[in-house]
A = this chain, B = another copy of it.
Amino acid sequence: MVFVATGPPGNGRHAECLSCDARSHSVCNAIKNKDVARLAGLATVVEVKAGGGFIHEGDAAEHFFNVAHGDAKLYKLMSDGRRQLTGFVRTGDFLGLAAGKNYSFSAEALDPVRVCRFSRKKLTSLFDDFPAMERRLLEAASNDLLAAQNQMLLLGRKTARERVASFLGSQAALAPSCHQGDRLPLSMTRGDIADYLGLTIETVSRTMTALRKSGVIKIPSSSEVTIQDTAALKSIADGTIALD
């Protein structure tokens, strides 16, 4: 296990919640400051090293997770090792809804991650007292569903070029402070991108080179891109532009 539990168990983590990076934009903010103690009492803070897994496909789904800080990838595996990333999560994201009795996916940290772990059972009972939290979760699930449908369109019908352009476009959209011409850091490897887009590493690499050569992006380092022409990138992503 790569779990490293920190912080005092039980009470006293109240303050930690109030200062949490995720508090402002996660499900937690459905709860008023005065009620946070109750929530904190249910959470276990877990630190995960970069590359460490904290949800394992097939395990009993006993917990929900909220990402307090960091980035992680979600994926499914086939028996022969083929892998499909189903999404990325970031600070504030909630995790574990898409599960029956067992987790149907794995989660692995891309950089050092801190997650709040909640017992599924206990959290459900919390919903009775804080219905706003449940509503928040429903919103989160709706957003995930929306993203999943877009990804199905990407995987089922888009060309490699369109997939990579779509990916870069959405990454840029997630960093609102990053404007055209700014460096956009990519926290995942080419292999992760490939498994997210249903392509091979080689095709991702070749396609990014092609986008660079056509002037749409620059690649200052292999873990950074700068988008030179946002409009063109979007046209490519949407299939409005045929070729270039």
User: Which residues of A pack against B, CB within 8 Å?
Assistant: 76, 78-80, 82-84, 86, 97-100, 104-105, 127-128, 131, 134-135, 137-138, 141-142, 144-146, 148-153, 155-158, 195, 197-198, 238-240
**Shortest Cβ distance from A78 into B: residue:** B239
Closest 8 CB pairs of A and B: A156-B198, A148-B148, A155-B155, A98-B145, A141-B141, A84-B153, A84-B156, A82-B157
* A131 proximity list for chain B (CB < 8 A): 127-128, 131, 134
Q: Find out whether the CB atom of B141 lies under 8 angstroms from the CB atom of A145.
A: yes
Copies in the complex: 2
A selection of 20 A-B contacts at a CB cut-off of 8 Å is: A76-B152, A78-B153, A78-B157, A79-B238, A84-B153, A84-B156, A86-B152, A97-B145, A98-B142, A98-B145, A98-B149, A104-B146, A104-B150, A105-B149, A131-B131, A134-B134, A138-B141, A148-B149, A151-B152, A152-B152
Q: Find out whether the CB atom of A82 lies under 8 angstroms from the CB atom of B239.
A: yes
Across the interface, A153 reaches (CB within 8 A) one of B76, B80, B100, B158, namely B76
Q: Find out whether the CB atom of A148 lies under 8 angstroms from the CB atom of B142.
A: no
